Amino acid sequence: MTQQLKFKGTALFDGQKILSGDKVLILSEDRTIMDIVSADLAGEGVQEVDGILSPGFVNTHCHLELSHMKGIIPEGTGLPAFLTQVMEKRGQQDDAVIKTAEEAMWESGISAVGDICNGTATLAPKQHSPIYYHSFVETMGFVPVAAQSRLDYSLSVLEQFRRLNGDMHSCSVVPHAPYSVSKALFSLLSVIPDNTPISIHNQETAAENQLYADKTGAFLDFYQHFGMDASAFVPTGGTSLPAWLPYFKHLPVILVHNTFSTKEDVVFTKQHAPDAYWCLCPQANLYIEKRLPDISLLRSEGCAITLGTDSLASNHQLSIWEEIQAIRGHYPEIPLEEILQWATLNGAKALGISARYGSFEKGKQPGVIVITDKGSRRIY
């Protein structure tokens, strides 16, 4: 018989509910969940842990490749100015810095990550990582005539990430944002077969909706600053989301940020992309725009919410627990077990890996973490 591991915390979160403290989690040596039983039936060898036991977190939005930009961009500039600085100060990526950032994610309890990639900087660090990665190879290009060549470049990056595919990796090619992708490029992306999930930066700034409403606002200065020709863009008179979402009708889509999404956007999404996930990166929103999405609206509309850390260019650490704390600080009425489900099971569903991650169901291998007042840490 194989060796079993048994853990008992002050409480146990199973992916959906917080169970009382008399429950013991039983795993096999290869990290597979075997059972959750009452303490009086658990037998010998139970390790007692001070804190809430939880499945490993799933971080559905990260940019590991920007890890070297920690502390470089000032806070509160607003998104267009932030992006200008990212593009100008991007500089050289650093393998050692990427490795340090991802080790910190693992130690703080993150088991799986949806990671945005513009190039191949994270290819080597991902190769032997204990973290599961879905690499979202990001494509952008606002000039319609360049759509095919921009996509071809991104597909060549995707091809390199495909070599990692297997038990611990998958990948897809995705649009960057509605203000950086032309209709022609959206259209090309929408017909790529077996290319899921889709992820997109959505309504991260008021300037995005303003662009679509009447083609005014800070993005026009942004295009001019970088000599980008926006003459082909025609405003729709509405918010940005209805203009592009139909390209990915009925596909699993992860909408990232949603800081300026309206009730009409949410209703439209429920109609056109019922499998959408709403990824919140609260600390990055506070860093860049000093504002949070309307989380009450998303909850009242029954949206499936997930959590992301975004990058070290717009965050002080890559910790899902710190994102949870930021939400609790601003929305103390939301039950902890609900936010924990966003951070675990919902994230696993969004990345299409819930057969293995996100909850303590028998046969899964989600990792085991413990949460205390001081933070979260991996124990297995």
In the bound complex, which residue of the shown chain has the CB atom lying closest to Zn ion?
310
Q: How far is the CB of 20 from Zn ion (least distance, A)?
A: 38
Cβ closer to Zn ion: 320 or 369? 320
CB nearer Zn ion, residue 14 or residue 289 = 289
| Contact window for Zn ion (CB under 5 A) among 179-187, 303-311, 320-328, 361-369 | 303-311
Task: Residue 72: name the closest of 84, 94, 89 by CA.
Answer: 89
| Residue whose token pair is 């495909």 | 162
3-state class of 155 per DSSP?
Answer: helix
Question: Under DSSP, is residue 349 helix (H, G, I), strand (E, B) or coil?
Answer: helix
Give whichever of 281 and 370 is closer to Zn ion, judged by the CB atom. 281
Q: Which is nearer to Zn ion, 65 or 310 (CB)?
A: 310
In the numeric block, which tokens belong to residue 369?
């973490």
CB atoms within 10 A of CB 328: 14
Tally DSSP H helices, then E strands, for the chain.
14, 17
Residue 317 CB, nearest distance to Zn ion (Å)? 16
The number of residues making up the chain comes to 380
| x/- map, 305-334, Zn ion, by CB under 5 A | -----x------------------------
* 256 vs 369 by CB, closer to Zn ion: 256
Name the nearest CA neighbour of 324 among 307, 345, 312, 304.
307
Rg (CA), the chain: 21
| Residue 177 C-beta: closest distance to Zn ion, Å | 9
**Cβ closer to Zn ion: 86 or 379?**
86
CB of 138 to Zn ion, least distance (A): 9
In the complex, minimum distance from the CB of residue 92 to Zn ion, in angstroms, rounded to a whole number = 20
* Buried b / exposed e along 81-96 (16+ C-beta atoms within 10 A): bbbbebeeeeeebeee
Output the smallest distance, CB 326 to Zn ion, in A: 16
Structure tokens at 376: 């979260």
DSSP-derived 3-state class of residue 36: strand
Residue 66 or 368 having the CB closest to Zn ion: 66
Cβ-proximal residues to 260 (8 Å cutoff; 6+ apart), any chain: 203, 204, 205, 206, 208, 209, 239, 293
By rule CB under 5 A, what count of residues binds Zn ion?
1
Closest approach of Zn ion to the CB of residue 255, in Å: 12
Nearest alpha-carbon partner for 360 in 19, 3, 114: 19
d(CA 191, CA 17): 39
What is the strand order of the sheet 18-19 is part of? Answer: 18-19, 11-13, 52-55, 368-372, 375-378
Closer by beta carbon to Zn ion, 208 or else 310 = 310
User: x/- binding map, residues 263-302, to Zn ion, per CB under 5 A?
Assistant: ----------------------------------------
| Reduced DSSP (H G I as helix, E B as strand, rest coil) percent helix, strand, coil of the chain, to 5 | 35, 25, 40
Nearest approach in angstroms of CB 224 to Zn ion is 23
The residue (of 131 and 369) whose beta carbon lies closer to Zn ion is: 131
CB of 31 to Zn ion, least distance (A): 30
Site map for Zn ion, 189-228, x if CB under 5 A?
A: ----------------------------------------
Quick note: the x/- pattern for Zn ion over 49-88, rule CB under 5 A, is: ----------------------------------------
State the residues that interact with Zn ion by CB under 5 A.
310
